[in-house]
Amino acid sequence: MRNYDFTPFSRSAIGFDRLFELLNAQSHDSAENFPPYDIVRTGEDTFRISLAVAGFSPSDITVTAQQNLLTVAGRKAEASRSEDYVYQGISSKAFERRFNLADYVEVDSAGFENGLLQINLARKVPEAMKPRRVEIVSAKDQAQSRQRLGDVNAA
């Protein structure tokens, strides 16, 4: 459990306090690593999280998406066991795995196949939030534009 000092970065990075707090929090959460997972970038703004949930059925798993948080929880239904296990290597313990999502990242879909839970994510930035190019106008053009506006308002 190591804590990193991000003070030098926070001096020049405005508004990233939450990011630095999340990085420090992630280092403490490494003790619980079930179920194993992969995160894959499938496109410029799309991602896929794959969780290995062997032994669980889709009805045993819940996927909850909130603002900036994705929670995957699994709990096996209590069933009367008629089998007498000599060794049980496939885990059936309950789990809850949380993923912090960036702004505007939404869950597109979730699927279950061959013991893997696949969750597809997409970053959907609203048009108003996307960068746009601002044209630079010379002082002469600005003065002419103001003069035309004044002529229109006077008329």
Q: How far is CA 35 from the centre of its chain?
A: 18
Give the domain 33-154 fold.
Immunoglobulin-like (2.60.40)
**pLDDT digit string, tens, across residues 70-99:** 999 999 877 656 678 888 888 888 999 999
Cα–Cα distance, 64 to 120 (Å, whole number): 13
Cα–Cα distance, 57 to 111 (Å, whole number): 11
**pLDDT digit string, tens, across residues 43-58:** 988 999 999 999 899 9
Domain boundaries of the chain, sorted by first residue: 1-31, 33-154
Please list, in sequence order, all residues whose beta carbon lies within 8 angstroms of the beta carbon of residue 67, skipping any fewer than 6 positions away.
none
pTM: 0.64
Cβ atoms < 10 Å from Cβ of 51: 23
Residue 65 has pLDDT above 90, yes or no: yes
Instruction: pLDDT band for 133, please (50, 70, 90 cuts).
Output: confident
Token digits of residue 1: 């459990």
